A = this chain, B = another copy of it.
């Protein structure tokens, strides 16, 4: 039987590291998780167990930790780029390196009215993402930034009506419901060497502003408005991918208890949930 091989890749996931920067008494911490994946011709390894083209994943982890010393203090996008280039240079058998860096924020403890120099509490549930892909044969890198895991909710200006109905449709149309969704956004930058942290904060803020202000006719409708706003207001962004798992909290029926529920008590739920996703990009740059 003749067999062909595709999409073979390998790497190391979940490399955790904490980078401490001491600027005199004022410390800074970065809490990072790094995933590295290699693509290339690994046929001999797979077919014959010939490992000569395989750098151990243990070495990948060591490189991440070693390079973190000098490169993890800056932008996570630059650290990801540094890692991707390092691996392409060191490992001749690679055709492509993918590096994803996830940052979990820590905030300075506010103590006696000011941010503490060296004491921190973990920030919110959301994570900042940098994702880089670098091919040996292409000069340009793919550079994406993202935000994952931020639960959002708006309690006005969100309706859902005028939809398609089939025999299994029992949902009531509404002009006012609670829209609750988890924000997962990734966006691609059109060029490199930009102030990534500045743009990350801009995109995050535009997404939140639009979510809050939008007069929502559906989750999809708000999703598109958010993606569009990011593209229009943050010039280096050329493509936005949004994924919004969502489940509207259900009003509790209190009538069996002789009570009315005028939109006060809801049951929130995580499962099952709707999932909406789309990619929006600028035509001129696609």
Contact = CB atoms under 8 A, between A and B. Distances in A.
Interface of A: 1-22, 25, 27, 29, 31, 37, 42, 45-59, 61-63, 65-66, 68-69, 72, 90-91, 93, 106, 109-112, 116-125, 150-157, 160-171, 178, 208-209, 211-213, 216-221, 223-224, 228, 231-232, 241, 245, 249, 252, 254, 256-259, 261, 263-269, 271-284, 286
24 contacts: A3-B231, A4-B281, A5-B280, A7-B241, A8-B277, A8-B278, A9-B277, A10-B220, A11-B274, A12-B272, A15-B272, A16-B267, A17-B252, A18-B266, A27-B156, A31-B268, A51-B164, A52-B163, A65-B265, A66-B168, A90-B166, A109-B212, A111-B209, A120-B152
A25 B241 CA distance: 32
B16 A46 contact: no
Number of copies: 4
Chain A at the B interface: SS class: mixed
A196 B4 CA distance: 24
B124 A123 contact: yes
Contacts of A29: 153, 155
B125 A266 contact: no
Nearest to A4: B283
